[in-house]
A and B are shown apart, each in its own frame.
Chain A
């Protein structure tokens, strides 16, 4: 590894501060306590904990700091997990740290995701499942990554691993305004971005001039569209653009330079398309904590259209079955409806997404309630129990909900 590697920043936070890789090595080597449940806020601290878990071969659970006590309780995470004492561990230099982490046995990462029944679930991944598309090589030595995803989600973690295992600098861009993001991309020399289509749309709406130093752009988490790609090519004239498909359950599975995915042979035989939805063989998935569903094939709920069968090529079409994609974050309307029904006086509720030009969809609710119809009290009730993104932005009180002829609740 070149001499410059030691001085490179690890993760530059929103205030512009960072540990250097050399300081990271020193801190990791001397750290004597490991918290198996990470409630930290911000990519710098969260990814430090992931690096610690990698270097010591431990299992780490990442918890979104925005989750509310009620949600943590449902996951059994409301009590503090015991801290583990560690012995100090000598780390010669950055090259040695990265090499050690690259082959970390014993490392496991546990992530949280909304289950299909509305109850959140925990998924455990080993390094292999998280690094399917990861490339380490001297070619990547000078990459500078923008961190655009939630650091506690699968996409955020995968970007971190790609950057960290190449000892690249990372610039935290998550949750910042488009103007700040642009300044930081230029100011910190970002060369690689991976983000949702919503992130790019918001950035493009505000961008003043092209960003020629960005060499690679990946998109994931939501369906993209050709118009967005055309705009991306204008603003990032030197970037290779790739679409990725990943899920919390399986990690990254497919990459494509367009909207048609062409799974590698090893993966192709582990997926099935039945009645237009994508299913994954259980060997592709991380372990589910306390899984009761022992079936061999996991239904992702994602609708696909087959382009050719031999070799298999397909496209993602339509929306996830019932789920609402809010700029990459998937919300299960049934989970929110269940909470609405807990509010006194509410007899029926329908939660749905409404398209808009800013962020794809915003969350709305129609509520049938007896007695006093208090929107503020209802909103407060939900905000106390649910992650902010699951609280509907528009709530209207109605006298009845629409339903189909078979009596099922219509959501679209």
Chain B
């Protein structure tokens, strides 16, 4: 269940010189978290998993998510990271999701 896989649990950050390096590592972790969330939703629709996503991957056109799927994707991400990526504005690409996750944690 959510949160039991420690790889997915968000790291605590402090403002220090090392935090930039940790941020960079976390960006690729976040890509993985996002990809896993997309594939979780795709699996529910009996679609094959996406092998890779990039910042340019569009959630609707490329990842095949419709509005209800986006809702599920958002909730799954919120449960794993504590961040609601759709809170103030829509996100259209994986890159935009990454930025919102980063903004939610790297303060």
Q: Residue B24 at the A interface, CB < 8 A? A: no
Cβ of A206 within 8 Å of any chain B Cβ, yes or no, is yes
Which of A177, A198, A205, A393 lies in contact with B44, CB distance below 8 A?
A393
Residue in contact with A396 in the complex, picked from B1, B67, B70, CB distance below 8 Å: B1
Given contacts A177-B60, A362-B75, A396-B1, contact A357 B68 (CB under 8 A): no
**Contact residues on A (Cβ < 8 Å of other chain), bracket:** 20 to 34
Q: For B90, what are the chain A residues with a Cβ–Cβ distance below 8 Å? A: 205-206
In the complex with contacts A205-B89, A394-B76, A358-B1 CB distance below 8 A: no
Secondary structure of the B side of the interface? Answer: helix
Nearest chain A CB to B5 CB, angstrom units: 15
A residues whose Cβ falls under 8 Å from a Cβ of B: 177, 179, 198, 202, 205-206, 326-327, 354, 356-359, 362, 376, 379, 389, 393-394, 396-397
Q: Which of B43, B70, B92 contacts A358 (CB 8 A)?
A: B70
Give chain B residues whose Cβ lies under 8 Å from the Cβ of A376: 43
Among B71, B76, B89, point to the contact of A359 (Cβ < 8 A).
Answer: B71
CA distance A362 to B72 in the complex (A): 7
Chain B residue nearest to A205 (CB atoms) is B90
In the bound complex, residues from chain A placing their C-beta under 8 Å from that of B29 are none
For A179, A354, A357, A379, the residue with the greatest tally of chain B CB atoms inside 10 Å of its CB is A357
**B75 (CB) vs chain A CBs: closest residue:** A356
Tell me the B residues contacting A by CB distance below 8 Å.
1, 43-44, 60, 66-68, 70-72, 74-76, 78, 84, 86-87, 89-90, 92
Tally the A-B contacts, defined by beta carbons under 8 Å.
Answer: 50
A199 to B78, CA, bound (A): 22
Question: Which of B1, B43, B74, B92 lies in contact with A357, CB distance below 8 A?
Answer: B74
A198 CB contacts on chain B under 8 angstroms: 67
- Taking a contact as CB atoms under 8 Å apart, the answer to whether B87 and A357 are in contact is yes
Q: Which residues of A contact B43 (CB under 8 A)?
A: 376
Closest to B88 in A: A357
User: Given A177-B66, A202-B67, A396-B1, A356–B74 Cβ distance below 8 Å?
Assistant: yes
Tell me whether A359 and B67 are in contact in the complex, defined as CB-CB below 8 angstroms, given that A177-B60, A205-B89, A394-B75 are known contacts: yes
Q: Which residues of A contact B70 (CB under 8 A)?
A: 358-359
CA distance A100 to B82 in the complex (A): 59
| A393 close to B71 (CB less than 8 A) | yes
Is the beta-carbon distance between A393 and B72 smaller than 8 angstroms?
A: yes
A198-B67, A205-B90, A359-B68 known; 5 new pairs, CB 8 Å cut-off, are: A326-B68, A356-B75, A362-B72, A394-B75, A396-B1
Most B CB atoms within 10 A — which of A202, A206, A358, A389?
A358
Minimum CB distance partner of A198 in chain B:
B67
Contact A358 B44 (CB under 8 A): no
Say whether B44 contacts A379, CB under 8 Å: yes
User: For residue A397, which residues in chain B have a CB less than 8 angstroms away from its CB?
Assistant: 1
| Distance to closest chain B CB from A366 (angstroms) | 11
Closest chain A residue, CB of each to CB of B41 = A393
Q: Could you tell me the distance between the alpha carbons of A358 and B97 in the complex, rounded to whole angstroms?
A: 14
Which residues from B are CB-within-8-Å of A393?
44, 68, 71-72, 75
The complex places the Cα of A198 from the Cα of B66 at a distance, in Å, of 13
A175 to chain B, nearest CB (A): 8
Task: Please give me the residue from chain B that is nearest to A357 by CB atom.
Answer: B86
User: A326 contacts which chain B residues (CB < 8 A)?
Assistant: 68
What are 14 A-B pairs at a CB distance below 8 A?
A: A179-B60, A202-B67, A205-B89, A327-B67, A354-B75, A358-B71, A358-B74, A358-B86, A359-B70, A362-B71, A393-B44, A393-B68, A393-B72, A394-B72
Q: How far is the CA of A177 from the CA of B59 in the complex (A)?
A: 12
Contact call B60/A357, Cβ cutoff below 8 A: no
Q: Give Cα distance in the complex from A272 to B77, angstroms.
A: 44
A396 to B3, CA, bound (A): 13
